[in-house]
Amino acid sequence: GNSVTQMEGPVTLSEEAFLTINCTYTATGYPSLFWYVQYPGEGLQLLLKATKADDKGSNKGFEATYRKETTSFHLEKGSVQVSDSAVYFCALDSSGNTPLVFGKGTRLSVIA
């Protein structure tokens, strides 16, 4: 079946450090890929998405590239801020507008 595997957290970084959160997936066909973020006490928010191979999703300084050859969608940010502290979830939609399959989430803490 379809699945998403994320690097385990928590991840603790100093402000302005480079961030990478690894995400790999298993799916049949050509899934759409997403990163969602959950700030403390809030609901899930869509951070970025990519719907086909080699697409790059970007938002708020975060980027992720859909790599079909490595079945990956790693999240990166060049310089994190304290306000980026949250839980990040990688997710896939296997065939368009279907239930999302989520990874377990990676907690990021950024310290000043």
Partner 1 sequence: DTGVSQDPRHKITKRGQNVTFRCDPISEHNRLYWYRQTLGQGPEFLTYFQNEAQLEKSRLLSDRFSAERPKGSFSTLEIQRTEQGDSAMYLCASTRGVEQYFGPGTRLTVT
Residues near partner 1, by CB under 8 A: 4, 32, 34, 36, 42-46, 49, 51, 89, 91, 93, 96-97, 99-105
Whether omega for the bond prior to residue 10 falls within 30 degrees of 0, making it cis, is yes
Min dist. Cβ of residue 112 to partner 1 (A): 26
For partner 1, give the closer residue by CB, 36 or 73.
36
Q: How many CA atoms lie within 13 A of 21 on its CB side?
A: 33
The least distance separating partner 1 from the CB of residue 38, rounded to whole angstroms, comes to 9
Least distance CB 15 / partner 1 (angstroms): 26
- Asked whether 48 and 63 are in contact (CB, 8 A), the reply is yes
Q: Which two tokens stand for residue 58?
A: 């970007």
Nearer to partner 1 by Cβ, of 4 and 110: the residue is: 4
CA pair distance 1, 34, nearest whole angstrom: 18
